[in-house]
Each structure stands twice: as structure tokens, then as C-alpha cells.
Amino acid sequence: MPLTSCPSVLVIYTGGTIGMIKDSETGALKSFDWDHLYKQMPVLESLHCRIDPFSFDPLIDSSDMNPSFWIRLANVIEENYEVYDGFVVLHGTDTMAYTASMLSFMLEHLNKPVVFTGSQLPMGVIRTDGRENFITSIEIATAYEDGTPIVPEVCIYFENRLFRANRTIKFNAENFDAFLSGNYPPLAEVGIHIKYNRSHILKPNFRRLKVHRELDTNVAILKLFPGITPHVISGILNIKGLKGLILETYGSGNAPTDHWFLDLLADAIRRGILIYNVTQCKEGSVDIGRYQTSVNLGRIGVIGGFDITTESALAKLMFLLGRKIEQDQIRELLGQSLRGEMTVD
Ligand code: ASP
């Protein structure tokens, strides 16, 4: 049930383009005044919900995003979880997919909508995409049916589509249509109506929210390229304290068959480093064993990440390593879908 007949939403502003307006006198971009939201956007009055703002201080460009900020963001949601029906997180677009993926892992048993959005043009610019993104996100965050939220998961709303957060990447630096979920259908499509794709939305489990705050940043990402040398591979695999590596492979999880390459990886795995195989493609899945070039990876103990995004794989590794559980259990969990982040066949 919404908490009252007038649903409530907490709008959490972290920084980024969406919160900028042009100073009418100087023409310079300055911060939108979220504390006086209704004064800035009187149209919000007609939404029939209560919108309360929360602004981080200081605000950050999302290029400065980091794990301690993720923890603070999760704390704000936890502290307000019982008070609001839904949450809208305004975030810079550059690292939104990382933050939103991470929050999906940190917020276990989430039963309320947490909708991330942002914009390519500042809120105060006449052609802004921020206004529509913001208003529709509020509608989605407060949408309930038969007493339960329609989208009780962490998601990203951008340019008429709602995506599962941990399936989404930013793929365009200029277009309004900037986000992509190559391996999972949109959770909703927005035109005259908001059409929810119900069979693809997670169901609420009505369990108590559990927030995981321990994140381990001893991870790295290695993107393969033709001509990569042993120095590069061994340089990364010998980083002091490294516990997990995301290996961005070709196509369906393929990598060079050179002995030196496999030996370096096998040695790292013996030393306890987890290697997670993620494809460089924006659509499709790692399928270890489809080609001889990936059979070797499976044989030495590289873990297949199916169709997970790099952003989500990074968040999952930090989250699982932070849980201080046995390595075997982490290996097992990396092969499972924990929050709908990958399709396991
Ligand atoms: N650099 C900005 C950020 O990610 C871009 C944006 O907001 O879209 O914070």
C-alpha cells in the first residue's frame, strides 16, 4: 500500500547536468534550487503526490563518484525507507550505470522503486530533456497497483524508457537517447501512457530491506585487444592486493590462445584472484566452450559472466568481495543472477 492516499517520493540530488540552470543575468550555469522545487516547477503540484528534496553536500559531477558516496546514498535510502513510497535519484549520466548497478546489489530485498535519472541538457535550458525525465521518474516511483509498487527495483529512466539498472550502460554522449539495455527488455515504455512490461519486472518479496555497506575495491578491469603484451597482462595481475579482475573478452567470451596468456591467467587464479569473463559486445552473452578460444579459459578457472554488463560485473565483484565469504561461495554467486543482472542459461 502507498503509505497514504497521496504517495510520497524522496528526490535525492547527487549532482550532474540535470541540476543546472542558466543564470538569467550572467548566462552561466548554476545549481537548480531543489529545496524550492515547487516554486521552480509549479507543474509538480498537479502530480498528486508529495515530493520532498534531499541534496547531497557537496554535489558532485558523477565522474567523481566513489564507493563512499554509494554508501552515503544507500544510507539516505535506508533512513527514509519507511517514510516514502519511492525514491528518485538525480545523478550525472556519466557513471549513472555504475552507481545504479551498485545500489541494486547493496539494497537487498528492496520492495520500493528507486528510479535513477538525469539529463543531457541542464534543467534550465529551454530544450532540456531533464524536465520530462524528472516528471516521469516521479510518476514511476509513485506508481502502485493493488497496494504494491509496480516497479520495486533499482532502475534507470531515460528518454521514454525505463531499464533495469544493472542491465544498463551509457552508450551515447550526445543524444537524448543515451542509455541502452542490450540484453534485457525495457521495464516500461513511455508515450501517451506508461506501458509497464510487467513480466520482466522483479516481484516484491516483502522481506525487510537489508543494506550491504562493505565494498572491496581491490578489483580491476582488463579489456583485451589484438597486440596486447605480456607486460600489460602481468602488470595488472600483479597489482598488490588484487582480488578480482573483470576480463573484457571478444564476442562470446573469446581470448587469445597463446600459452603465455593462459599461463599468466592460470597463475593469478592459483594465487586466489577471481577472473570474471565479460563480453566487449553490447548485446549477447559469454558462452565459455562455444569456441576453442574460450574452452581454455573455462579449463583454468575463469568464471563466465553470461550477458552481464561491465558496470554491473564491477559492482557485483566489489559487493561479493566485501561480504567476506569463502572464495568458493563467491565463485558460485558470480555464476548466479542475484538481482536479475544476467541471464543464466
Ligand atoms: N559530467 C556529467 C556527470 O556525469 C554529465 C551529466 O550529468 O550528464 O555528472
| Average pLDDT, integer, range 306-312 | 98
Q: 61 CB under 6 A from ligand 1?
A: yes
Q: Which fold has domain 219-334?
A: Rossmann fold (3.40.50)
C-alpha of residue 130 to centroid of ligand 1, in Å: 12
The closest residue, in CA terms, to atom 7 on ligand 1 is: 92
Torsion of CA 316, 242, 249, 234, to 10 degrees: 180
Q: Could you state, in order of their start, the residue ranges of all structural domains in the chain?
A: 8-211, 219-334
Domains 8-211 and 219-334 share a fold: yes
| Contact indicator for 50, 6 with CB cutoff of 8 Å | yes
Mean pLDDT over each residue of the chain, to the nearest integer: 94
The closest residue, in CA terms, to atom 8 on ligand 1 is: 93
Per-residue model confidence (pLDDT) at position 14: 96
Tens of pLDDT, residue by residue over 74-90, are 999 999 999 999 999 99
Q: 92 CB under 6 A from ligand 1?
A: yes
Q: Which atom of ligand 1 has the smallest separation from the CA of 119?
A: 8
Tens of pLDDT, residue by residue over 60-73, are 999 999 999 999 99
Per-residue model confidence (pLDDT) at position 292: 80
State yes or no: pLDDT of 27 exceeds 80: no
| Contact indicator for 114, 153 with CB cutoff of 8 Å | yes
Q: 122 CB under 6 A from ligand 1?
A: no
| Ligand 1 probe mutation, 62, 172, 174, 176, most atoms within 8 A of CB | 62
Active site residue 17: yes
8-211: which CATH architecture? Answer: 3-Layer(aba) Sandwich (3.40)
| Average pLDDT, integer, range 246-274 | 97
Q: How far lies 222's CA from each of 104, 278, 331, in Å?
A: 23, 10, 19
Tens of pLDDT, residue by residue over 129-167, are 999 999 999 999 999 999 899 999 999 999 999 999 999
State yes or no: pLDDT of 4 exceeds 80: no
Question: Which residue has better confidence, 122 or 231?
Answer: 231
Q: 16 CB under 6 A from ligand 1?
A: yes
CA atoms within 13 A on the CB side of 127: 3
Per-residue model confidence (pLDDT) at position 28: 74
| Cα–Cα dist 332/271, whole Å | 18
- Which of 17, 117, 136, 309 is catalytic? The answer is 17
Per-residue model confidence (pLDDT) at position 35: 75
Q: 152 CB under 6 A from ligand 1?
A: no
Tens of pLDDT, residue by residue over 321-331, are 999 899 999 99
Tens of pLDDT, residue by residue over 209-258, are 999 999 999 999 999 999 999 999 999 999 999 999 999 999 999 999 99
Portion of the chain with pLDDT greater than 90, in percent = 84
The x, y and z cell numbers of residue 233, run together, are: 597482462
Q: 277 CB under 6 A from ligand 1?
A: no
| Average pLDDT, integer, range 27-56 | 84
Burial code (b: 16+ CB inside 10 Å, e: under 16) for 19-57 equals bbbeeeeeeeeeebebeebeeebeebeebebebebbbee
Across 98-112, 134-148, 150-164, 283-297, least confident range = 283-297
The x, y and z cell numbers of residue 244, run together, are: 578480482
Q: At what angle do helices 96-106 and 310-322 cross, to 10 degrees?
A: 40
Confidence bin at 22 (pLDDT 50/70/90): confident
State yes or no: pLDDT of 299 exceeds 90: yes
